[in-house]
Structure 1
Amino acid sequence: MKRRAFTLVELLVVIAIIGVLVGLLLPAVQAAREAARRMSCSNNFKQLGLAMHNYHSAYDRLPSNGTGTGIESSGLVNQRRLGAMAGFLPFFEQQAIWEQLSNPHQPEAGETPAQPTILTANGSWPAFGPRVWEDLDIYDPWQTEIPTLRCPSDPGTLPTGNGMTNYAFCHGDAILRVGYNSTNAFLDRGAFRGMFRPQVAGRFRDVLDGLANTVAMGEIATDLGDRQINGSVVNKSHLGNSAALGTSGKLCLDVADPQRPQFVDDSVPLWNTGGASRGARWFDSFLMINGFTTVLPPNSPTCPLDWGVAWQSGIYSAGSRHQGGAHILMADGSVTFITDSIEAGNTEADSISKNYNNVGQQSPYGVWGALGTQAAKETVSLP
C-alpha cells in the first residue's frame, strides 16, 4: 500500500501561495492599524475640544498660551511660560496632575532642583512649579506623559522622559513678532490674529469670523531625529536676524532637500536639543514647542528667526504622522482633517504686520490663513 503524502513540489506551491496571501494581507493590516490610530488621535482632539469649551463655560475666557507665576525679568519661578494646556487639565480628567501642579510639590530624596532659591520654606517647589525648561527629569508634573495628549501615530520620545504633546495652539497667520509677550516694548498687536496668544486670555466673543470657521488647535509632529520636514525645527541661525521671511515664506520652503522633499536638506542646521523640539513639553507655551501658525500648509517646515526676540518670529507649521495632512480642532469643538494641499494663498506675500502697513487686512495665505484668524472678516468654507 502506497503512503499518501504531499510531494516536494506540492509543498513548495502551498508555501508560495501562503507567502503571496501574507504579502497581500500585511498592507491591509497596517492600513487598518493606522486607521485605528488616526481615529484615536481624532478622539483625543475631541476631548480637548470639550475641555476648551468647559473651561470657557467655567471662566468665561480661554487660558492664555503663556501664563503662570513670576515676571519675565525676575529670573524666578516659571516666568509666565506655562502653556494653556495646564489650564485644561481638570477638564479632561487630569485632576490629579492639576493638583500636583497647582500646589507646592516636594522633591523626592536625592533630587536637587536647578533653582534652589525658588523652593518654599519646607523645601518644596512652589505652586505651578519651576521654569518649564528646568527640572525636566525630576519635577513630577513635567515627567507625566498624558495619553490624551499623544497621537498614537507618533512614536517620538525624549531622553529626559518628560511628557510630550501632539496638539498645539493656533497663534494666527502672522510671521513677525507672533510670539512676543504682552510686556515687550516692540509688541505688534496687529500680529495676534489667532485664538491664543502669550499672557492674554481670549474669549469666544472675540471670534468674529465664527467658531466653526476658526482654528483653535492643530496637530504637530515630534522630532524623530531623521530630519523629516514635519517634525524638525530649522535652527534660528539659518535665516538669522533678517526679517526677509516676513515677505517670503518661500525661504522656509527652500530648506527641503530637492532629492527628498519630505526631508530637510543636510546643509540646513536643525534645532534638535530634544527637550526643546516640537511637542517636547506639553506644559510649555513656547511657540516653537507648543504652537503653530497658518502660514504654510500642514506638514511644511518650521523656521524660527533670530530677528528681534529670538524664536518669537518665524513660521511654525502644523503636521502629523498621518498620510497627507493633519487633524485640526475648530473653535466650535469639531475636529476635521486638513490636507497638505489646502489652498494657502501667496507664499511671497507680506506678513500681516505694522512693518508692512497691512494690519487688519484679510489673510494673504488663502483658505488656510483665513481659518487661522479669528476676526479678519473672511468668509471661508472648510475644505
Structure 2
Amino acid sequence: MSTKRFSRPAFTLVELLVVIAIIGVLVGLLLPAVQAAREAARRMSCSNNFKQIGLAIHNYHSAYKQLPVHGAGTRVVGNQGNGTPATSNNGLRLSFLVGITPFIEQQAIWEQISNPLDLDGDPLTTGDVYNAMGPTPWTAQYTPWLTDLPTFRCPSDPGVGLPSLGRTNYAACIGDGIWYNSIGGYQWRSGAWADWNNATHEEERALHTRAACRGFFVTRQAMKFRDILDGLSNTIAAGEIATDLGDRSIKTQHMNNPGGGSVLRDNPTHCRTASPGIDPARPQFWDGGVVEVASGQPGAGQLAKTVDRRGYRWADARPLFGCVTTILPPNTELCLTSNDGSDGTLAPSSQHQGGCHVLMGDGAVKFVTDSIEAGSSTNGTVHLNGGGGQAPGAMSPYGLWGALGTRAAKETIEEDF
C-alpha cells in the first residue's frame, strides 16, 4: 500500500514578519491622518457652535433692538451680589451668553433663570427660593450655573468637571483696551464704595469708558449694531477661549501683574518679563517657581486660585471668565491687574493647532492664527489721559489684530486673515 504525501502552502516566518512590518508602517501612516481628520471635524463643529451664537446675537438684536448686555442681571443697593436664596442677586455680573439662551434652543434653562427657582420643591414661603435672574454666577448650588450647554463648548477642548461650574469656550470681545473694561458703563458698587456713585465719579467713569472701552461689547452697557461704525464684517464680536486643565497653562491661568494696573496698561507684556514667570523651557506654561495661591486674591506676581480659571463659568461676565481683548495675539499669556474681576490682557485661545476662532459682527466665523499681525505688544493701550498713540480716538496700537477689535476707530481693513 502506497502512502502519498501532500504539501500544504504556508507562510514562512520571514514572510509573516514582513507582512506585520508592512501593516505596522501603514498604521503609522494612517493614524496621524485619522487624528487630523477627527480634529478637522471637531474644529468644524466648534465653528458651527460659534455660528449658532452669532445667529442668536442677531436674532436677539432683531427682537429687542439691541445686543444682549454683557454684565446684565440684578443689583441690590447695599451689597455687591450674593448667592443666598430669597435675597439673591448677581450684582450685574451675567454674561451675554445668558441672554441668548432662548435663541439657541435652550428655552428650558432660560425659564429656570428668568423666574424664581426653588431647587428642593418646598413651598415658596420657605425662604430657599432664588430670585429671578439668579444669584452670583459662582453659586454652585444654583443648577443653571452648573449646566454645561453643548452650544457653548468646543469639542476639541477636553476640560470637564470640578472645580469648574458650567464651562464655556466662547467669550465677548471688549476691544483693544485695558482701562475700565471690567467696570464699563455702570458702577455696581455701593455701601463701602458709595463715593463711586456720586455725580463726579459717574461723569469720570463715563469719560473713561468712552475713551478706553472700544470693543463690540462694553460691560454693563446696552450696545446696538449702529454703534459698530467700522462695520460688522470688520469687527470681532466674540472670541474662542480654552478652558483650564489644571496644568499651569499661561493661556488659561492668569498672573496678578506684579507692576500694578497702570504699568500693565502702558506695557501689556509686563507679566512676560516677571521673574519667576513663564517657563523658558516650556513657554506655554508658567514656571514652577511662580506661587499659586490656594484661596483668596493672588498677590503681585502670583497665580490665581484653583476656581479662578479661564472658561470655568459660562454665566460670568467678569473679564477672566467672559471676555477677550485684541491686545496680545491668540494663545499668549493672561495677565490681570488684580483678581478675576479686574482689567487685563485677555487673549483668546483654543486647543486647535496654530490659532483660534473668532466671531465677526456679521455672524461670520474666521480662524485667526497666532502669527496675525499685531503691531508691537509693548505699546500702551488707549485711555482717557493717554498721549500720542494712546490718546482717545487713536488707531489701535496693535496692528490688524487690534483694528479688528475696535468698533469705531476708523481703521481700514485691507488684509485677509
Relative to the length of structure 1, the TM-score reads 0.91
Distance 1:370 1:330 in 2: 13
* 1:348 corresponds to which of 353, 375, 378: 378
**1:83 maps to what in 2?**
95
Question: Is 1:60 matched up with 2:60?
Answer: no
Quick one: which amino acid aligns to residue 264 of structure 2? Answer: L
* 1:39 corresponds to which of 41, 44, 51: 44
Distance 2:357 2:91 in 1: 31
Pair 220,43 (structure 1): closer, same or farther in 2 beyond 3 Å = same
* 1:8 corresponds to which of 10, 13, 16: 13
**2:349 maps to what in 1?**
319
Alignment of 1:332-343 (within 5 A): 332-343=362-373
Question: Is 1:20 matched up with 2:25?
Answer: yes
Q: Secondary structure at the match of 1:44?
A: helix
- The CA deviation at 1:267 is 2.9
Contact 2:179 2:213 in 1 (8 A): no
* 1:303 corresponds to which of 335, 348, 359: 335
Distance 1:365 1:256 in 2: 22
**1:276 maps to what in 2?**
308
Q: Secondary structure at the match of 1:25?
A: helix
CA deviation vs aligned residue, 1:207-248 (integer Å, no higher than 9, x gap)? 0001100000000011111122322222x2x42535211121
- The CA deviation at 1:78 is 0.7
Question: Is 1:362 matched up with 2:395?
Answer: yes
Quick one: which amino acid aligns to residue 288 of structure 2? Answer: D
Contact 2:320 2:340 in 1 (8 A): no
Quick one: which amino acid aligns to residue 155 of structure 1? Answer: P
**1:289 maps to what in 2?**
321
Pair 196,71 (structure 1): closer, same or farther in 2 beyond 3 Å = farther
Structure 2: gaps spanning 5 or more residues? 1-5, 82-88, 188-195, 293-302
Distance 1:288 1:70 in 2: 21
Q: Which moved more, 1:277-286 or 1:224-233?
A: 224-233
Aligned Cα root-mean-square deviation (Å): 2.0
Question: Is 1:101 matched up with 2:113?
Answer: yes
Alignment of 1:230-249 (within 5 A): 230-234=251-255, 236=256, 238-249=257-268
- The CA deviation at 1:121 is 5.8
* 1:142 corresponds to which of 141, 145, 164: 145
- The CA deviation at 1:262 is 2.0
- The CA deviation at 1:277 is 1.2
Distance 1:96 1:133 in 2: 20
- The CA deviation at 1:310 is 7.2
Structure 1: gaps spanning 5 or more residues? 111-118
Q: Secondary structure at the match of 1:56?
A: helix
**1:377 maps to what in 2?**
410
Quick one: which amino acid aligns to residue 399 of structure 2? Answer: G
Alignment of 1:136-285 (within 5 A): 136=140, 138-160=141-163, 162-181=165-184, 182-183=186-187, 185=201, 187=205, 188-189=208-209, 190-234=211-255, 236=256, 238-254=257-273, 255-269=277-291, 271-285=303-317
- The CA deviation at 1:2 is 2.2
Relative to the length of structure 2, the TM-score reads 0.84
Residue identity over aligned pairs, in percent, reads 51
Q: Which moved more, 1:225-234 or 1:123-132?
A: 225-234
CA deviation vs aligned residue, 1:237-269 (integer Å, no higher than 9, x gap)? x42535211121222334432222222222334
Distance 1:365 1:353 in 2: 14
Contact 2:69 2:223 in 1 (8 A): yes
Q: Secondary structure at the match of 1:201?
A: coil
How many residues in Structure 1 have an aligned counterpart in Structure 2?
369
The structure with more radius of gyration? 2
- The CA deviation at 1:9 is 1.5
Q: Which moved more, 1:86-95 or 1:178-187?
A: 178-187
CA deviation vs aligned residue, 1:342-376 (integer Å, no higher than 9, x gap)? 11112221211123241111110111011100011
